[in-house]
Amino acid sequence: MIRSRTLEEKLGSLYRAGGRIVGGVYLGRGQEAFSAAAGIHLRWDKDVYGPLIRDQAGRIAFGEPLIDSLRTYLGVVTGPMRGRDGNIHRGQPKHGYMAMISHLGSLLSVVAGALFARRIKGTLGDSAGATSIGDGGTSTGAFHEGLNMAAVEKLPLVVSIANNQYAYSTPTSRQYACENLVDRAHGYGIEGHSVDGTDLLACVKVYRTAFERARVGHGPQMVVGRLLRLGGHGEHDDASYIPESMKKIHESRDCLTVAQQQALDLGWTTQAELEAWHKQARQEVDQATSQVLKEPTPDPYRETWQALSTTSLVEGNEG
Amino acid sequence: MSSITYLEAIREAQYEALRTNPDVFLYGQDINAFGGAFKATKNLGREFPGRVFDSPISEDAMIGMAVGAAVEGARPIIEMQFADFSSVGFNQIVNQAATLYWRTQTPCPITIRLPSGGTAGSGPFHSQSMESIYAHYPGLVILTPATVEDAYWMLLDSVKLDDPVIFCEHKFLYYHLKADDFGQAMPIGKARIARPGRDATVVTYSAMLHESLKAAEELRLDGYEVEVVDLRSVKPMDTDTILASVARTGRLLVVGESFPWGGATAEVVARVASEAFHLLDAPPLRLNSKDTPIPYHPNLWKSHRPTTASISAELRKLLRY
């Protein structure tokens, strides 16, 4: 969480400084606890993870090198997307790390498909999948189709719904008419869990149960976290549509502050150690940033401009 | 005696793919015990237990699932019950499957079977030809087999390709088109001279090949030798074979069953006009369906799509110029 917050602060300041980051910056401030609590239950190369826009913390917890985020935002060729795609649209599918597209809900069936293929091949073992969505994304047909299919196949899939009250500027009252999103789990024939998304310990506990149950064959698990994103949809957005009173309540429940207090109260760490972690994170982020700023950006003359992997079928390459 | 139908070729190709490659599985609506709406997967579920799955009516999730499975090294064949319904899975096809390799260098070996094109009485939503829509997007291979041989070999090749293939199989050919055997495989991406000629070239594909061949035969009675080129694959498009034919004949008519605005036929005309304008003795012509939804009643349907009669009429216009 600390590394995620520190990295995202850097991304925000790079965006505001202008120049190097093209396109938007989409941050997970306020959602780190809910995201990281899922990510720590996932194993790189063993499980399947399809994170979404506000999952920087989950991505780090899953095992993505922090520098890959910077590389993708800056579009350098050393990054996983090599300048062909940017910001949060990144992944390494060969390692079970799916790269989201912008169309909400559509990643769910992809993660499910990876698990389905493993089951057919007999390689599923105790692996699980996880993917994330917001309250807005639950309104898509793709989300419904994917979750229903995963439920029919009883796949070991954990679906995180970060109910952050606003889909861009649209409040939940214009998004759904049911009382609680988690009630939908019953309709899909899957298990549902609800948690205060600003409470790290509660999130870890809920995800531990959800992943355990998914891995032993209880089918998809829906985890709904109540929280508020502490910022705009992207850094271009001042979130003026969120009432000040609501912002104040949630700023005082910043999940990072809550988590640090929890760790202190339980005697897991000390104030001095926390400060050291923050300092370490800042050094790591600064070092990564200065490295990435020196790395090469893509050269259109060296780009293959080839959308197919079969070179002989690329028009003009028939030989 | 011809005994193998176009539909049986598609079933046999899937049988062969399942038999020879353990990574292949089939996923689609009603395809397991029921054998599919057209019986293209008849008995395959029984012969390959655990490899043929009924899906929910969820075209979006079906394609998304295939992409995820492909990432894991599987080679799924997805049956859309009708090509028309692939519009529900359109996003997953053009944005998820078609971009995966370019974005992540992860190949996406999925085959999407689209039972395509019109048959009498099928109406607006069970008759569509989608090849032009999908050909517009980078990252997809669009195949349009017109013969029993191509239905078999091109489907087998599709499964072997490391890229997403939109396999447009024509429902009108399912039962009526027959061959003695599967013949010889021709490579994907190469067009075929289906009938040699010297007076005009018809470039076409899928079911329109057979209407065009009949039209060419009609014109023969008037003393014209019309060359007919079967594109076989809309994308990639074999421009060289098209240009070579136009160089021989000097006249071009392009026939397709899909809607007239833009599309595969327009692409052929554009390529010939820009690369071989000097070879043309007459303005190149296109013939597509009419620009309305596909009608239900056979009286209307027969006038909506190109037919032997309408192709012959266009050819006469082209030859008179």
DSSP states along A134-181: ETTGGGSHHHHHHHHHHHHTT--EEEEEEE-SEETTEEGGGT--SS-G
Contact A109 B63 (CB under 8 A): yes
Q: Could you tell me if residue B225 is inside a domain? A: yes
Tens-place pLDDT, residues B152-169: 999 999 999 999 999 999
- Does A133 contact chain B (CB < 8 Å)? no
CATH code assigned at A145? 3.40.50.970
Contact map slice: B 181-200 vs A, CB within 8 A: 188-189
Nearest to B177 by CA among B142, B213, B214, B149: B149
d(CA A240, CA A230): 12
d(CA B168, CA B113): 6
**Would you call B136 a catalytic residue per the annotation?**
no
Q: How far is B228 from chain A (nearest CA, A)?
A: 22
Looking at the structure, tell me whether residues B79 and B216 fall in a common domain: no
- Does A249 contact chain B (CB < 8 Å)? no
CATH code assigned at B11? 3.40.50.970
Q: How far is B189 from chain A (nearest CA, A)?
A: 7
Report the pLDDT value the prediction gives residue B1, as an integer from 0 to 100: 57
**Which tokens sit at A209?**
């149960």
Give the number of domains in chain A.
Answer: 1
Looking at the structure, tell me whether residues B18 and B152 fall in a common domain: yes
Q: Could you say which of B62, B88, B103 has the minimum Cβ distance to residue A85?
A: B103
Give the number of domains in chain B.
Answer: 2
Q: Could you say which of B50, B68, B238 has the minimum Cβ distance to residue A109?
A: B68
CATH code assigned at B280? 3.40.50.920
Structure-derived torsion over alpha carbons of residues A190, A192, A197, A203, reported in degrees to the nearest 10? -90
Tens-place pLDDT, residues A14-61: 999 988 898 899 999 999 999 999 999 999 999 999 999 999 999 999
Q: Could you tell me if residue B187 is inside a domain? A: no
Report the pLDDT value the prediction gives residue A316, as an integer from 0 to 100: 76
**Contact residues, chain A, for B101 at CB < 8 Å:** 307-309
Domain range for A105 is: 2-313
- With CA atoms as reference, the chain A residue closest to B70 would be A114
- Note the ipTM here: 0.97
Q: Could you tell me if residue A318 is inside a domain? A: no
Q: pLDDT digit of tens for each residue in chain B (321 aa)?
A: 579 999 999 999 999 999 999 999 999 999 999 999 999 999 999 999 999 999 999 999 999 999 999 999 999 999 999 999 999 999 999 999 999 999 999 999 999 999 999 999 999 999 999 999 999 999 999 999 999 999 999 999 999 999 999 999 999 999 999 999 999 999 999 999 999 999 999 999 999 999 999 999 999 999 999 999 999 999 999 999 999 999 999 999 999 999 999 999 999 999 999 999 999 999 999 999 999 999 999 999 999 999 999 999 999 999 999
Q: Could you tell me if residue A63 is inside a domain? A: yes
- Does B110 contact chain A (CB < 8 Å)? no
Q: Could you say which of A108, A118, A309 has the minimum Cβ distance to residue B107?
A: A309
Residue A177 has pLDDT above 60, yes or no: yes
Nearest to B68 by CA among A109, A303, A214, A179: A109
Residue A319 has pLDDT above 80, yes or no: no
